[in-house]
C-alpha cells in the first residue's frame, strides 16, 4: 500500500515539490493524521459498492482513504493549482475522478448521473469542508433532489454543534432545523486543530448526516416553514410573538385572535424560538400559512 499522504513529512514533501502555497481565501487546511481519516471513512460507513462525492480534496489525503474503502470517488476541487498535483498523489488509484469545478456552481444531480452511472445504492458525500462555505454547501446539497443517503463532513466544531443541536440549547437555531428536517444529525467526534497544516484557530468536528425516510413533521408550505423558523430566531432573546411580528407586521393587529388559537394548538407565543421542536414549528407554520391566506 502506498505511503499515506496524511503525515507531516509526506505533506511537506508534496508541498515543497510543487512549491504550493496555501490560499487563505480558500480555507485550505490539510489533514496530517491518517488515524483521523480512517475514523472518517468508518463514520461514513463505506464499502466497495459505495460511490462517494468529495468536496475539496486538497492534495488527496482524504481522497486516498475514500478510494481504498469505496467503489468510486468523484471529487470537486475549485483550486486549479491542485489539478497538476492530484494526478501525481493519487496515481495509484484508478477509481478516482477529479473535477475542477466549484460545487456551488455545478448541477450535482447531472454530474452524478453522468459520472457515477450504474449505481447499486445512493451516493454518499464525504468532505473536509472549508469553514467559509460550509453552510451554503450543505444547504445546497440538501435542497437539490439528489440520490444521496448520507453526508459526513469535517467542519468547524461550533457549526457542527449548531447543526446537531437539540431544542432548548444555546446552539439550537434555524440551521439546526434546516438540516434536521431532512437528515438525522450526529456529532461523531472532535478533531483537534493540531492535526492540520497549517493549523487553524479552532477545533473541528466530524458530523454524520443520515437522510430521513420521512420528515419529522408534515409541512404544508416548506418555504414558509423555513421563513417562520428563520424569523423565530432573528433576535434570540425576544419572544416568538415579537420575532414573528417583526417579520409579519400584519399579525400585530390580530394578536387577540391568534394568541388563544395558537395556545389551543399547544403553542404559547410568549415562548422563545429555541424552545420549539420541529413538529411544533410545523404546527405554527401550517396554522399561520392558512391564517394569512384568508
Query: Positive or negative, the Cα torsion across 95, 98, 104, 109?
Result: negative
> Which residue has cell 497544516?
197
187 belongs to an annotated ligand binding site: no
Residue 249 confidence class, pLDDT cut points 50, 70, 90: very high
29 belongs to an annotated ligand binding site: yes
Torsions phi, psi of 250, nearest 5?
-65, -15
Neighbouring C-beta atoms of residue 54, cutoff 10 Å? 25
Tell me the angle at which helices 134-143 and 157-164 cross, rounded to the nearest 10 degrees.
40
Average pLDDT in the 199-226 region?
96
> What is the set of domains in the chain, with CATH numbers?
8-211 (3.40.50.150), 222-293 (1.10.8.100)
> Mean pLDDT for the chain?
94
Average pLDDT in the 78-97 region?
96
> Which residue has cell 498535483?
85
Q: Which of 62, 63, 139, 154 has the alpha carbon at shortest distance from 108?
A: 139
Residue 23 confidence class, pLDDT cut points 50, 70, 90: confident
Highest mean pLDDT: which range of 89-93, 131-135, 253-257: 89-93
Q: Is 286 helix (H, G, I), strand (E, B) or coil?
A: helix
Is the model's pLDDT at 71 over the cut of 70? yes
Is the model's pLDDT at 234 over the cut of 90? yes
C-alpha cell at 126: 464525504
Query: What is the Cα–Cα distance from 189 to 7, expressed in whole angstroms?
Result: 20
pLDDT at 132: 81
77 belongs to an annotated ligand binding site: yes
Query: Positive or negative, the Cα torsion across 167, 171, 174, 176?
Result: negative
Average pLDDT in the 187-199 region?
95
pLDDT of 154-182, one tens digit each? 999 999 999 999 999 999 999 999 999 99
Query: What is the Cα–Cα distance from 64 to 235, expressed in whole angstroms?
Result: 44
140: exposed, middle or buried (C-beta count within 10 Å: 0-12, 13-18, 19+)? middle
pLDDT at 151: 98
pLDDT at 130: 82
Is the model's pLDDT at 24 over the cut of 90? no
56 belongs to an annotated ligand binding site: yes
- Tell me whether strands 123-128 and 196-197 are parallel, antiparallel or unpaired: unpaired
Residue 1 confidence class, pLDDT cut points 50, 70, 90: low
Amino acid at each position: 500500500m502506498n505511503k499515506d499522504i496524511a503525515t507531516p513529512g509526506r505533506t511537506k514533501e508534496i508541498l515543497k515539490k510543487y512549491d504550493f502555497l496555501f490560499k487563505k481565501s480558500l480555507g485550505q487546511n490539510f489533514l496530517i493524521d491518517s488515524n483521523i481519516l480512517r475514523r472518517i471513512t468508518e463514520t461514513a460507513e463505506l464499502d466497495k459498492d459505495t460511490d462517494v462525492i468529495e468536496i475539496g480534496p486538497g492534495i488527496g489525503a482524504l481522497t486516498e482513504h475514500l478510494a481504498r474503502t469505496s467503489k468510486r470517488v468523484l471529487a470537486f476541487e475549485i483550486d486549479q493549482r491542485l489539478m497538476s498535483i492530484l494526478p501525481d498523489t493519487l496515481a495509484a488509484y484508478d477509481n478516482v475522478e477529479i473535477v475542477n469545478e466549484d460545487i456551488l456552481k455545478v448541477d450535482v444531480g447531472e454530474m452524478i448521473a453522468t459520472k457515477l452511472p450504474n449505481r447499486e445504492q445512493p451516493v454518499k458525500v464525504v468532505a473536509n469542508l472549508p469553514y467559509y462555505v460550509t453552510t451554503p454547501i450543505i444547504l445546497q446539497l440538501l435542497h437539490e433532489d439528489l440520490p444521496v443517503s448520507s453526508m459526513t463532513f469535517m467542519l468547524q466544531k461550533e457549526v457542527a454543534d449548531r447543526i446537531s443541536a437539540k431544542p432548548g440549547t444555546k446552539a439550537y437555531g434555524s440551521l439546526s432545523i434546516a438540516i434536521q428536517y431532512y437528515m438525522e444529525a450526529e456529532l461523531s467526534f472532535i478533531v483537534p486543530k493540531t492535526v492540520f497544516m497549517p493549523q487553524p484557530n479552532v477545533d473541528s468536528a466530524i458530523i454524520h448526516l443520515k437522510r430521513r425516510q420521512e420528515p419529522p413533521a408534515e409541512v404544508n408550505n416548506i418555504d414558509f416553514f423555513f421563513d417562520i423558523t428563520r424569523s423565530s430566531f432573528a433576535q434570540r432573546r425576544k419572544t416568538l410573538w415579537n420575532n414573528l411580528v417583526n417579520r409579519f407586521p400584519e399579525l400585530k393587529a390580530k394578536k387577540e385572535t391568534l394568541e388563544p388559537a395558537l395556545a389551543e394548538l399547544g403553542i404559547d407565543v410568549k415562548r422563545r424560538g429555541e424552545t420549539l421542536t420541529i413538529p411544533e414549528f410545523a404546527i405554527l407554520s401550517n396554522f399561520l400559512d392558512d391564517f394569512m391566506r384568508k
